[in-house]
Structure 1
């Protein structure tokens, strides 16, 4: 049973159903938003969708968080934080996992905006241990049969998963084993033994140790040549520390969370707020088993270091404040949080020339500062999903934002992250009287 679960789950830990999310947003028609009709009637499909998953018992609870422009957030909440807990609401706390990546990405863009970093600056300028990297001759093959890197890793590469770095949840063979043995697993699932069935092992490294040990690992691909999901956003946490002179979590607090009023977003949930935690369920042969109980969550414990790729807990209300800032091109409630140009660049396609994401988790789209960027008919969309059933995205061209929050693993067990954006888009088209 363990092998079967690992095959099914490990490649989805900390990434969620982002491929399906991208495919859904690709169906988005081009239209301009207009305000009309009672707000309570804007999201009937979203309501039915959310209600169906909870009524069927597939989820203990779920909440959709939707907004047009900078208008007030609207919630469709169903069920409970746990099967026997308090009702789900906009202040319930969720493990957002890889939805952390756009937050880290925009923190990097803030430093670029400050003139302290450059998009195409070599990583070795900040972390000299990355000066002479070696690359596997055969990806996921021997870790001793190596060739020199043909170009330096840059900040752009780290933001867009084109650095050549690996990920223990993606790689196979000796490189995966080496990552795990070195403690290069930047994430956590539970303090319960059941978490081992999902193929993870909690690291004990500091962020400095993580960055140093990672530099000793061979790259899987030549930098700037291939999109491959990686620990690049976690490594950027260390870059932020060195460049800013602050700890990574302190920088996020000062530059993003405090100015945005994000009072419910943490790497470690305070003890007096644990009561708001949802329970994360592992789906095994169709049965939901408590994987990380809300009241005993591993996220109430101090992590080894703040994981910039998958470490945050947040509420739908809090994360929407981040999305609203993006939709406002760096402004939030009249305050400038990040420069407009930095947001425009961060939510645009930053992939190096010639790189395609066809057949990857980015589903044929572009990639920006930690999130997928829509191309073609879906131009203007930016967002990413999380491993435990969450997603958050903005449509900057058309002016709307949305999120869906549930807690189950693996995210691919249900088609939620593929279906939800389509349902939300249909609701918007119908309610606002626009033509598809």
Structure 2
């Protein structure tokens, strides 16, 4: 079935950069002399700048909702909230921690940690060549010009490794990043990384996805790389490919592995590639922003996420709730431990949230210049996390002992400066908390 995917000129490098910009702000505040704080569940009074930001966007009807969640330490068993709004403009149902959001690339840290579980168990190696798991990737070719003819290639000078897939340094392209003949080939072969809508959307090319993750991976192996492996940081479909690696290494379907090894043990009961029809009433509408005006591009009642995905995309395919994602972040903040049990080992979390970039990689001019990248997420100081194409953000700051998320639904994410404003407001509120604590 033909669906509208993320092949969109509107989803620019800038919008995706904004998706990962969160983590510099939190890291700059790491080590402040305050720890866990006892707040009421609604903590707007403690985060006044963030509360004002949420109110500004919701009250002006620029967005249906802007909902923020926070938690201190790994022992607090629920997130505190700021902001709100409704599931859709003009509808009365308010958002809460159980509302459902398309998290897009916030799926990447989840897939990254799934990979770390298998590395910890010895079923994968961090520096293992991918072709040992997926033989089709043994003899890769590399474009001389990333935007040039597909026939103008040279052999790869080294094999792609699991580390390179985790850190976007494999040289692979991406449907939403590649240009020229390579992007055309991605679309023609159905190498999708996420879904947007059933509706025709101006500027988004309809693409028929490959029939399943195994076929998706086989087709990907036939195309050249954009760059030589381990030479350049370039946002890529590598986390989607890890979904297939996980299938082969674990011996179970990718979605089954996520459910059995992460979602069920973490108590994440509202995270899926396909939203059950019985839960559609919790799903937000997703909006496109044109000229500052929102219009629905994926209404909940007819959402493409009610259908099973042709390709379960580990890099951008999940829907989740604020409560669920907070539990995932809480598990990371607890170094693998949640509610008294280990979901994954402390070492796997410590390695996965550390800088895993190969030493040979040039990050100059990239989104992570001067910073690092771990297992599917940006590493900046003591922070780890990532953002999604529909405006969501999620991170843990190990120095502050803070887990935080921003929840909203609109595309492209640079249509509003929310993410920059969020960073500034969060930093302002955290500094005010520090000053108050020191004055006490």
TM-score band, normalised by the shorter chain? over 0.9
CA distance in 1, matches of 2:311, 2:412: 24
Q: Distance in 2 between matches of 1:155 and 1:201?
A: 28
Answer yes or no: is 1:172 the counterpart of 2:179. yes
Return the offset for 1:28. Answer: 2.9
Aligned equivalent of 1:190: 197
**Per-residue CA distance 1:180-226 (angstroms, 9 max, x = gap):** 111112211000112x5234635142100001000000011000100
**CA offset digits 1:261-313 (Å, max 9, x no partner):** 00000000000000101000001122211100011110010110210000000
C-alpha distance in structure 2 between counterparts of 1:31 and 1:170, whole Å: 38
**1:61 has 2:65 as partner:** yes
Q: What displacement does 1:142 show?
A: 1.7
**Secondary structure, counterpart of 1:9 in structure 2:** coil
Whether the aligned pair in 2 keeps the contact of 1:16 and 1:98 (CA below 8 Å) is: no
1:347–1:316 CA distance, 2 compared to 1 (3 A): same
Q: Could you say which residue in structure 2 is the equivalent of 1:30?
A: 31
In the TM superposition, what is the alpha-carbon distance from 1:11 to its structure 2 partner?
A: 4.3
Aligned to 1:124: 131
Q: CA deviation at 1:10?
A: 4.8
CA pair 321-6 structure 1, distance change in 2 beyond 3 A: closer
2:358 pairs with one of 352, 356, 381: 352
1:280 paired to 2:310: no
The answer to whether the Cα contact below 8 Å between 1:282 and 1:291 also exists between their aligned partners in 2 is yes
| 2:58 is the alignment partner of 1:51 | no
Structure 2 CA distance for aligned equivalents of residues 380 and 180 of structure 1: 38
Q: Does 1:238 align with 2:244?
A: yes
Shifted more, 363-372 versus 246-255: the winner is 363-372
In the alignment, structure 1 segments of 5+ residues that lack a partner are none
Question: How much has 1:49 moved relative to structure 2?
Answer: 1.3
SS at match of 2:112: helix
Q: Distance in 2 between matches of 1:272 and 1:131?
A: 44
Aligned 1:139-158 pairs, distance under 5 A: 139-158=146-165
Q: Which residue of 1 aligns with 2:258?
A: 252
User: 1:19: how far off?
Assistant: 4.4
Is the 8 Å Cα contact of residues 172 and 226 (structure 2) preserved in structure 1? Answer: yes
Q: Once the two structures are superposed, what CA deviation does each residue of 1:397-420 show, in whole Å capped at 9, x if it has no partner?
A: 221010000000001111222221
Give the match for residue 170 of structure 2. Answer: 163
Q: How does 1:392-407 map to 2 (within 5 A)?
A: 392-407=394-409
Equivalent residue pairs, number: 425
Tell me if the contact between 2:69 and 2:79 (Cα under 8 Å) persists in the aligned partners. Answer: yes
Displacement of 1:6 in angstroms is 5.3
Shift of the alpha carbon at 1:356? 4.0
Which of 315, 338, 341 is the matching residue for 1:335? 341
Report the equivalent of 1:416.
418
Residue 220 to residue 382, structure 1, CA distance change in 2 (3 Å): same
Is residue 30–residue 382 contact of structure 2 (8 Å, CA) maintained in 1? no
Please say if 1:79 is aligned against 2:81: no
SS of residue paired to 1:361: coil
Question: Relative to 1, partners in 2 of residues 1:37 and 1:369: Cα closer, same or farther, differing over 3 Å?
Answer: closer
Distance 1:6 1:243 in 2: 33
Contact 1:10 1:198 in 2 (8 A): no
Normalised by the length of structure 2, the TM-score is 0.92
Aligned equivalent of 1:208, options 203, 207, 214: 214
Q: 2 CA distance for matches of 1:269 and 1:294?
A: 10
Indicate the residue corresponding to 1:42 in structure 2.
46
SS at match of 1:197: coil
Unaligned runs of 5+ in 2: 1-6
Secondary structure, aligned partner of 1:222: coil
SS for the counterpart of 2:61 is: coil
Deviations 1:84-140 (A, max 9, x none): 221111111000000000000000000011111110000000001111111011222
CA RMSD of aligned residues (A): 1.9
Matches of 1:93 and 1:16, distance apart in 2? 24
Contact residue 257 and residue 265 of structure 1 kept, 8 A:
yes
| Contact 1:233/1:308, CA 8 A, preserved across alignment | yes
Structure 1 residue 30: Cα displacement: 3.2
